Amino acid sequence: MMNVRCIFVILVIAGCVYGDLSEDHREARKQRLDKCRKEMGITEENPLSRPPNLDDPKEKCFYACLMKESGKLVDGKMVAEKVLSAEKKRRPNYNDDIEAKLTYCVETANEQSDECEMAATMKKCTFEKLGPLPPRKRQQ
């Protein structure tokens, strides 16, 4: 019985910590989005394409900005560890096959010398190899 109580307490604490991290993560993501939208002149009157138009230079550079702000693109190169870590959190079915495909996409993107082209290559490759991300969970 004592073990059950200990496990319950640990789960409650973990849930509280995870909830705080999720809120912090959402706020940081919002700040990155706002910064990059402002930097690229993306407004409600001039929104991003849905689905993304990765032939549009402004959209390519918007995604490069997001990748730089999140630490996935540093000094003109995609950072594999950051990409893999982020995708592991976003894809519930993450496995060795997905990791190999992401690693391939990072290597392919890193062949580009322009950061905007690199970001577009990364997004295109990831979509082609893995398909769209699952929808984000919304907390009430």
- Write down all domains in the chain, each with its CATH number in brackets: 2-130 (1.10.238.20)
pLDDT at position 107 is: 98
pLDDT along the chain (140 residues), means of 10: 40 38 80 91 83 91 96 97 93 93 98 97 95 64
Q: What is the pLDDT of residue 18?
A: 39
Q: What is the pTM of this model?
A: 0.75
Q: Report the 3 state secondary structure along 81-104.
A: HHHHHHHHHHCCCCCHHHHHHHHH
Contact (CB, 8 A) for 104 and 129: yes
